[in-house]
A and B are shown apart, each in its own frame.
Chain A
Amino acid sequence: MAAVDLDLLQGTLDLLILKTLNWGPRHGYAVASWIRETTDQRLQIEEGALYTALHRMEKRGWLESEWGLSENNRRAKYYQLTSAGRKQLRAKTAVWTDYAAAVFKVLQTA
């Protein structure tokens, strides 16, 4: 299956990051690898865009960051959800599910 161009799906990256961080604090590299592995590399995400999204969401107050130690004992910046971020995740998930269901329904009738 060909890789999906993520630009087509606005806000998807934010949702993926929020979902990823829902499991607990992670640094940017972990977020990137987790998305890649979970989607079996079917989603091509430019990592630069990923970091931009992380910082932007931090500014919006959905995420907060702290410096911590990584698995291999290096200094890394960890992100975690704030309560505002958790609320965003719930809202965006609902919208996405509805959207996908609607599109799927249309496709099935054809």
Chain B
Amino acid sequence: MTRLPGLKRILRIERDGAGVERAVDDELQFHFDMTMRELMSSGLPPEEARAEATRRFGDIQRTRERLTTIDRSRLGRERRSEWWNAFAQDLRYAIRGLRLKPSFAIAVILTLGLGIGANATMFGIVDRLLFRPPAFLTAPDRAARLYFARTFRGKENVQSYTGYRRYLDLKEMTTSFEAMTPFYSNDVAVGSGEATKEMKVGISSADLWKMFAIRPVIGRFFTASEDVPPDGSRVVVLSYAIWQTQFGGRKDALGSLIDIGPAKYTIIGVAPEGFSAFSPDPLVAFIPVSAASSTMGSAKNPWYSTYHMTWFETFARRKPGVTAAAASADLSHAYQRSYDKEVEANPGSTAAKIAKPRAFAGPVLRDRGPKEGNDAKVATWLVGVAAIVLLIACANVANLLLARALRRRREIAVRIALGVSRGRLLMQLATESLLLAFLGGLAGLAITQWGGTIMRKALLDQTDAGPSAFTDPRVLGFAALLAVAAGLLTGLVPAFQTAREDVSSALKAGAREGHVHRSRFRTSLLIGQAALSVVLLVGAGLFIRSLVNVQNVRMGYDAERLLWVQPRMRGTKTDSIQSMQMLNGMRERAQAIPGVEDAARALTVPFWTTWQLSLYVAGIDSMSKLGDFTLQAASPEFFSTMGTRVLRGRAFTAADGEHAPRVMVIGQSMATKIWPSEDALGKCIRISADTMPCTTVIGIAEDVRRGSLAETEMHYYVPITQFQPQAGGLFVRTSGEAASRTDQVRRELQKLMPGVSYVTVTPMSTIIAPEIRSWKIGAIMFAVFGALALVLAAVGLYSVIAYNVTQRTHEMGVRVALGAQARDVVRLVVREGLRVVIPGVVLGAIIALLAGRWVAPLLFQVSPKDPPVLVSVVLTLIAVAIAASWVPATRAARVDPNEALRAD
């Protein structure tokens, strides 16, 4: 067979659609011509020959179409397999290249891994806080958390917590919602005997089950008829996890009893795995709100009919077609009517005109709504920080790849000269960087898996391992996206570099030449890295100073040395006298425990509970206009136990008993607020009603922080014997750090508990921990990311300087030969390093100053322009720059002029 010289060209034509058709036509045309020739040579006239040829062939048009279809699909497949072959070849080539330079590969993969891991970790957390709706939630776009606003002293106060009576009103008076349920979770003792443990239980009405697309694994969910005030039915739906661990996943768990809090509940069903309703934390069980609340309230003001108790949040789902605005308007209207009913029931309440009640359906996720936590804000900032770390990492990788590309100039030039197309070469370089990015992404996921567990614990206060980063589709997708972006970003630079390559000059030149203009791009990468490092380190410094300030702030009590002890009664009804006797007994017992210095009874716990009563002072119209005054009822040992200093006057004594004259100790800021120009000691305050007898101020105590770390509260103390509360517990002061004594104290006091009742002991530091957490996280994460950025920048600087020094060996040799001292050479190189770093530092400082405005609200008593922080960061960077250039500089100084000049 003879081959056409233009064979390739023809084949290439065939590769597109029109080419395929033309080839089929050509082939068939040839066939017809041949047939006609044959037939005519055997004597047939042209007309008959044509007819015979057509008959022999059959349906020409259909055949033509069929052949075209077959050929098209064949070509498509060939093209795909060709592409895959090329890709596989590139991949093999890339892997071989990386295996030849393992240190380069490891450096790049680790750098990218750290960058991607930092981002995926932060994404996982922010996603949970701000984006991911609760698992199984039906129609998340229509689900809402309800918010209520009232104006108080000219300021609108938004709250998501409400009570049952309000919930009933809203449910009855609105038409926009198809489901509405109270929901809250509570730490409750679950189980009995030794196995009793405090666990989180979800509490709701039956509408909860309507809001999630779930079916019970076994049994059923509770119904509206089982959730009726005053007592409800004691039925419980277990979580899948506790059903597996405590009931072995057995079906006969249904119908058995389980102790939850003070009562026994019948198990009626099991919720699907991973279901935790609206709670971000896992829950062990779900019970009706009416069963959980049956012990709350008083005979006069039962929990279901008072407006004065608020203990849960309300969740609802709009009917399809109802807009969020319409639903909020409907809800607001209902809330106003409900508020009118409240005023009617309690004539003393603020009039609706002044309170301006308003309600709205907000986002389901708390941190998306008006009551977002500091944690979410800090986490959002950290996302930005993580992005910066990734940028720095990418800059480093780009730098490494670029240096490698420069080293490979000759190899690449040879390949171009040998006829490899530039497009093919670019593909190959892109394959290499995508392979690196892929491996970096895997490393990043491993870091996410490990870092995520630590972060969840620190930032979300969750101890469970959480979903694996390798199986969570959202985190996986995000990491993949980052890896591809990083691969493209870092791959583009050297790829374009290569595309520009001038073959002949690269082939002719030695390794020494041609680097000068290229290092300008690398220099600007370094300046950017230095600037970003400065920004992160300034952030780290500010957060660390905030954390130090938070930890040094005078709380008004010695949090580190205090334990809060709370008895939990179960199965036995105790009256107030019995419970007081029991607490007194516990107090005495606690004092006898070795390592315990003192113990006192108290009603409320800072950051956990507040108690407010109406106060009346002669000559002041409205005390509530002066602000909120919070109450503590305490036994005589209270002040010495807490470490709260009584500044003037005296603390309580045993003599301030039930029948003694009523006395109180008030905080300093409360004293100056009420009597700005007079001595508060000896003054009279009437508590609860202005008809009550005088309570005399006998002492003035230092201010305490108990609602917010940022400000002190107006707080007062009354003797617990004169107040006689139903609730309360003990504060225990230990001689050393309190947290380590928790178990010891609990074991001792548990002995005094009757029946199945139990006692919980919580270190005060644990109670305060969530308040400090956002600063702690900010400090730790900024410091970690900042250090990471600094190391990356230092490595980047080192590699560039070292590279430049090797490129300039010849020049250094000349300098030394001409009489330059080692010192001069070192100075020359170090100056080069500083020339790169100083503009970066200046740039970074400017950015940090500009960004300070936004970070200021997250800091604690630190200015975002804090001079010590700025100065120390700048000095650190310069020191690092000198250190990073020092090694290559001394190497340059040791250049032997003979060798340097002879080489090349």
Binding site for B on A (CB under 8 A): 25, 27-29, 32-33, 46-49, 51-52, 55-56, 58-59, 66-70, 74-78
Contact (Cβ within 8 A) B30 A77: yes
- Residues from chain A with a CB closer than 8 A to the CB of B59 are 48
> How does the 8 Å CB contact mask read for B19-49 relative to A, with 1 for contact and 0 for none?
0000100111011011100100000000000
Contact (Cβ within 8 A) A47 B67: no
Contact (Cβ within 8 A) A67 B70: no
A56 CA to B63 CA, complexed, in Å: 12
Contact (Cβ within 8 A) A69 B30: no
A46 CA to B31 CA, complexed, in Å: 13
- Residues from chain B with a CB closer than 8 A to the CB of A47 are 31, 56-58
Question: A48-B60, A69-B2 are known contacts; what are 19 more A-B pairs with Cβ within 8 Å?
Answer: A27-B31, A28-B27, A28-B30, A29-B30, A33-B38, A46-B58, A47-B31, A47-B58, A48-B59, A49-B58, A49-B63, A55-B67, A55-B71, A59-B70, A66-B3, A74-B33, A75-B30, A76-B27, A77-B26
- Residues from chain B with a CB closer than 8 A to the CB of A48 are 57-60, 62-63
* Residue from the list B7, B23, B73 in contact with A59, Cβ < 8 A: B73
- Residues from chain B with a CB closer than 8 A to the CB of A59 are 70-71, 73-74, 77
A73 CA to B259 CA, complexed, in Å: 98
A77 CA to B3 CA, complexed, in Å: 11
- Residues from chain A with a CB closer than 8 A to the CB of B58 are 46-49
Q: List 25 contacting pairs A-B, 8 Å CB cutoff, sorted by A.
A: A27-B30, A28-B27, A28-B31, A29-B30, A29-B31, A29-B34, A46-B56, A47-B58, A48-B60, A51-B27, A51-B28, A51-B67, A52-B63, A55-B67, A55-B71, A58-B70, A59-B71, A59-B73, A67-B11, A69-B1, A69-B2, A69-B4, A70-B34, A76-B27, A76-B30
- Residues from chain A with a CB closer than 8 A to the CB of B56 are 46-47
- Residues from chain B with a CB closer than 8 A to the CB of A52 are 63, 66-67, 70
A32 CA to B53 CA, complexed, in Å: 12
A32 CA to B57 CA, complexed, in Å: 10
- Residues from chain A with a CB closer than 8 A to the CB of B27 are 27-28, 51, 76-77
- Residues from chain A with a CB closer than 8 A to the CB of B60 are 48
With an 8 A cutoff between CB atoms, is B592 at the interface?
Answer: no
With an 8 A cutoff between CB atoms, is B674 at the interface?
Answer: no
The total of chain B residues at the interface (CB under 8 A) is 31
Nearest to A28 among chain B residues (CB) is B31
A78 CA to B3 CA, complexed, in Å: 10
* Residue from the list A28, A33, A68 in contact with B1, Cβ < 8 A: A68
B843 → chain A closest CB, angstroms: 61
Residue of B26, B35, B58, B73 with most chain A CB atoms under a 10 A cut-off = B58
Nearest to B68 among chain A residues (CB) is A55
Contact (Cβ within 8 A) A58 B74: yes
A63 → chain B closest CB, angstroms: 11
Contact (Cβ within 8 A) B31 A66: no
Nearest to A33 among chain B residues (CB) is B38
- Residues from chain B with a CB closer than 8 A to the CB of A66 are 1, 3, 7
A59 CA to B3 CA, complexed, in Å: 22
With an 8 A cutoff between CB atoms, is B326 at the interface?
Answer: no
A90 CA to B62 CA, complexed, in Å: 32
B605 → chain A closest CB, angstroms: 79
A67 → chain B closest CB, angstroms: 6
A58 CA to B57 CA, complexed, in Å: 20
- Residues from chain B with a CB closer than 8 A to the CB of A29 are 30-31, 34-35
- Residues from chain A with a CB closer than 8 A to the CB of B31 are 27-29, 32, 47, 51
Nearest to B75 among chain A residues (CB) is A59
B219 → chain A closest CB, angstroms: 58
- Residues from chain B with a CB closer than 8 A to the CB of A25 are 1
Contact (Cβ within 8 A) A67 B74: no
Nearest to B10 among chain A residues (CB) is A67
* Residue from the list B3, B28, B62, B70 in contact with A56, Cβ < 8 A: B70
> Top 8 A-B pairs ranked by shortest CB distance?
A48-B58, A48-B63, A59-B74, A46-B58, A55-B70, A29-B34, A47-B57, A77-B27
Contacts A59-B70, A67-B7, A75-B26: A51 and B63 contacting too (C-beta < 8 A)? Answer: yes
- Residues from chain B with a CB closer than 8 A to the CB of A67 are 4, 7, 10-11
Residue of B11, B57, B62, B71 with most chain A CB atoms under a 10 A cut-off = B57
- Residues from chain B with a CB closer than 8 A to the CB of A46 are 56-58
- Residues from chain B with a CB closer than 8 A to the CB of A49 are 58, 63
Contact (Cβ within 8 A) A68 B28: no
Nearest to A27 among chain B residues (CB) is B30
Residues of chain B in range 266-322 having any CB-CB distance to chain A below 8 Å: none
- Residues from chain A with a CB closer than 8 A to the CB of B33 are 74
A62 CA to B74 CA, complexed, in Å: 12
A93 CA to B33 CA, complexed, in Å: 33
A76 CA to B30 CA, complexed, in Å: 7
A61 → chain B closest CB, angstroms: 9
A99 CA to B624 CA, complexed, in Å: 106
- Residues from chain A with a CB closer than 8 A to the CB of B38 are 33
Nearest to A56 among chain B residues (CB) is B70
B157 → chain A closest CB, angstroms: 75
